[in-house]
């Protein structure tokens, strides 16, 4: 009789292709058997009756602020919050850490911090900023998942790129075979409107939205797509907030540009009316949009043109969100713990299936960035699993949050789904409201992403298209 490390019995296994009733046997950190009524013994058995088993979430866009700004958030508290939300792999952005991850030395500092404290697996983005194009190769050798650039809205220690830096950086990224991810807002438009804002005593929620109009996002997306087309660079547009932005990416793909995009849970659940009601706790960039723009995003999700939902978890101390000055308040949302619940709540109301939720939150990011063993539940894949009671709803309270600073625009909202267990490579890290494992996260060094299908505006492609044998590399320690 076979012996396994873990046996999960009686669950409804949710994959991007459907839902099956199956047991899951885990050995040596991977799914060993996936079939009903597995015969065998295990050191640990988990009764998943009445639970749905999703792939652990792969959040390709987070900010954990370490090293340098652990008073905002760090890998210890941030990764615990992600684990509580069913997330098993994160891609940490080069900012708001200090120093930002713009060269090998800064990469090594962040890697050491993450190895020491992260409860879940992690990949690291490198930065693309003025003056570091010649450092992209050393970052690639370190194992970054790609390079992040700001076209506007930079902070003091992570400057936005001018057009030449972006063009040359994308040329180098294409040579290295890694994607460039851009925060797409037009610096000339946003910058000039920001100067007008500085002349005001106080900026209201409506003013803030007006200072970052949709046209600023559309212009920047168009320019980035042009550069990608000219350089052959793989391009990823982060936190798209408007349906017309998704349409630009789809049109570029139809003419052969290797481009993808994501939106964030807050653009799918909140609108500019929530910004007015909730205050700066709901401030982000690009800003929350109108109900019409939100509806367009959902339409694109249902049509397969918008394949990926991330959190853009961007925490800060409470005093940076205090007051009613929307210009000076920090522009980031703490939401990484709630992504799955937001999708289950808002998505199912709009007819999004559970397999689609699995694709949006796990498979798409793993496929897009070449993590062949993440984001899916198959024999041989990492046993990264989230067990959810989808029949339960709960009102999110501040004390339920594992963030360093327990604030979020979702506090007080009734959210569907309760994460009961989160397993990282077969080991429970979160169970029934508690963190049950110490830090065990590993650096995931993805291979170059697969050649993604072009010539179509549709972005939702199956992870099975990753060639057999294209395996992610894992750095242990």
Q: Clarify whether residues 29 and 96 are in a common domain.
A: no
Q: What is the mean pLDDT of the chain?
A: 92
Q: How many domains does the chain have?
A: 2
The residue-averaged pLDDT of 316-342 equals 93
Residue 448 pLDDT class (50, 70, 90 cuts):
low
Position 363 in a domain:
yes
Torsional class of 165: left (φ above 0), alpha (ψ -120 to 50), beta (otherwise): alpha
Residues 6+ apart with CB under 8 A from 144: 101, 107, 123, 124, 125, 126, 178
Please indicate, yes or no, whether residues 140 and 199 belong to a single structural domain of this protein.
yes
Tell whether 400 is covered by a domain: no
Does 398 map to a domain?
Answer: no
Question: Is 215 part of a structural domain of the chain?
Answer: yes
CA-to-CA dists, residue 159 to 94, 127, 153, 207, 329, angstroms: 12, 10, 8, 24, 19
Residue 409 is assigned to a structural domain of this protein? no
Residue 396 neighbours by CB under 8 Å, 6+ apart: 338, 341, 408, 410, 411, 412, 413, 414, 415
Asked if residue 404 belongs to a domain, the reply is no
> pLDDT tens for residues 277-297?
999 999 999 999 999 999 999
Alpha-carbon radius of gyration of the chain:
21
For 160, the domain range is 56-379+443-475
Could you give phi then psi for residue 88, rounded to 5 degrees? -120, -15
pLDDT score, position 464: 33
Contact of 444 with 123, CB cutoff 8 Å:
yes
Mean pLDDT, to the nearest integer, of 11-29?
Answer: 96
Taking alpha carbons only, the member of 195, 197, 222 closest to residue 207 is 197
- Residue 207, sorted as left (phi over 0), alpha (psi -120 to 50) or beta, turns out to be alpha
* Beta strands at 41-47 and 52-55: parallel, antiparallel or unpaired: unpaired
Residue 141 exposed, middle or buried by CB count within 10 Å (0-12, 13-18, 19+)? exposed
**pTM confidence score:** 0.94
- CATH code for position 105: 3.20.20.140
Domain at 431, CATH number: 2.30.40.10
Q: Are residues 298 and 427 in the same domain?
A: no
Whether 86 and 15 map to the same domain: the answer is no
| Whether residue 447 is found in the same domain as residue 337 | yes
* 426 and 361 both lie in a single domain: no
Q: Assess whether 45 and 67 both reside in one domain.
A: no
- The answer to whether residue 410 sits within a structural domain is no
- If asked whether residues 94 and 218 sit together in one domain, one would say yes
User: Does position 462 have pLDDT exceeding 90, yes or no?
Assistant: no
Same domain, 466 and 338: yes
pLDDT band at 472; cut points 50, 70, 90: very low
Whether residue 405 lies inside any domain: the answer is no
Q: How far apart are CA 83 and CA 424, in angstroms?
A: 9
Q: pLDDT tens, 146-201?
A: 999 999 977 889 999 999 999 999 999 999 999 999 999 999 999 898 888 777 76
pLDDT tens profile 351-410: 999 999 999 999 999 999 999 899 999 999 999 999 999 999 999 999 999 999 999 999
Are 293 and 241 contacting, i.e. CB atoms less than 8 angstroms apart? yes
Both 291 and 373 in one domain: the answer is: yes
Give the mean pLDDT of 255-260. 96
pLDDT of residue 474: 43
Contact 384, 119 (CB under 8 A): no
Q: Which residues of 94-110 are buried (b: 16+ CB within 10 A; e: fewer)?
A: bbbbbbbbbbeebbebb
Residue 279 and residue 368 in one domain: yes
**Are 340 and 426 contained in the same domain?**
no
């Amino acid at each position: 009789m076979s012996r396994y490390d873990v046996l999960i019995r009686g669950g409804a296994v949710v994959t991007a292709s459907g839902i099956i009733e199956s047991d899951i046997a885990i050995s040596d950190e991977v799914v060993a058997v996936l079939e009903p009524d597995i015969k065998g013994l295990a050191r640990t058995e988990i009764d998943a009756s009445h639970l749905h088993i999703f792939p652990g979430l792969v959040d390709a866009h987070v900010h954990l602020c370490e090293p340098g700004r652990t008073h905002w958030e760090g890998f210890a508290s941030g990764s615990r919050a992600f684990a509580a939300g069913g997330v098993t792999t994160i891609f940490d952005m080069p900012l708001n850490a200090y120093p930002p991850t713009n060269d090998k030395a800064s990469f090594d500092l962040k890697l050491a911090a993450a190895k020491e404290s992260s409860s879940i697996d992690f990949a690291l983005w490198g930065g693309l900023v003025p003056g570091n194009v010649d450092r992209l190769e050393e970052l690639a050798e370190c194992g970054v998942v790609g390079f992040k650039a700001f076209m506007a809205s930079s902070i003091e220690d992570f400057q936005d790129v001018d057009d030449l830096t972006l063009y040359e950086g994308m040329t180098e990224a294409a040579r290295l075979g890694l994607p460039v991810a851009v925060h797409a807002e037009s610096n000339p438009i946003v910058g000039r409107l920001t100067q007008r804002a500085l002349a005001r005593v106080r900026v209201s929620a409506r003013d803030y939205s007006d200072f970052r109009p949709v046209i600023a996002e559309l212009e920047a997306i168009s320019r980035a797509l042009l550069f990608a087309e000219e350089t052959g660079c793989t391009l990823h547009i982060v936190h798209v907030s408007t349906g017309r932005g998704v349409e630009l990416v789809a049109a570029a793909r139809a003419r052969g540009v290797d481009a993808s995009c994501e939106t964030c849970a807050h653009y799918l659940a909140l609108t500019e009316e929530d910004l007015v009601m909730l205050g700066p706790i709901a401030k982000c960039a690009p800003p929350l949009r109108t109900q019409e723009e939100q509806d367009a995003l959902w339409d694109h999700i249902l049509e397969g043109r918008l394949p990926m939902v991330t959190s853009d978890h961007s925490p800060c101390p409470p005093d940076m969100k205090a007051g009613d000055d929307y210009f000076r308040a920090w522009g980031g949302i703490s939401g990484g713990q709630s992504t799955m619940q937001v999708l289950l709540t808002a998505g199912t109301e709009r007819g999004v299936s559970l397999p689609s939720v699995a694709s949006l939150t796990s498979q798409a990011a793993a496929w897009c960035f070449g993590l062949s063993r993440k984001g899916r539940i198959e024999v041989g894949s990492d046993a990264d699993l989230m067990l959810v009671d989808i029949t339960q709803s709960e009102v999110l309270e501040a004390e339920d949050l594992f963030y360093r600073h327990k604030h979020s625009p979702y506090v007080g909202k009734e959210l569907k789904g309760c994460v009961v267990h989160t397993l990282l490579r077969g080991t429970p890290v979160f169970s029934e409201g508690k963190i049950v494992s110490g830090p065990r996260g590993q650096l995931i060094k993805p291979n170059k992403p697969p050649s993604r299908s072009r010539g179509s505006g549709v972005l939702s492609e199956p992870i099975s298209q990753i060639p057999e044998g294209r395996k992610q590399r894992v750095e242990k320690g």
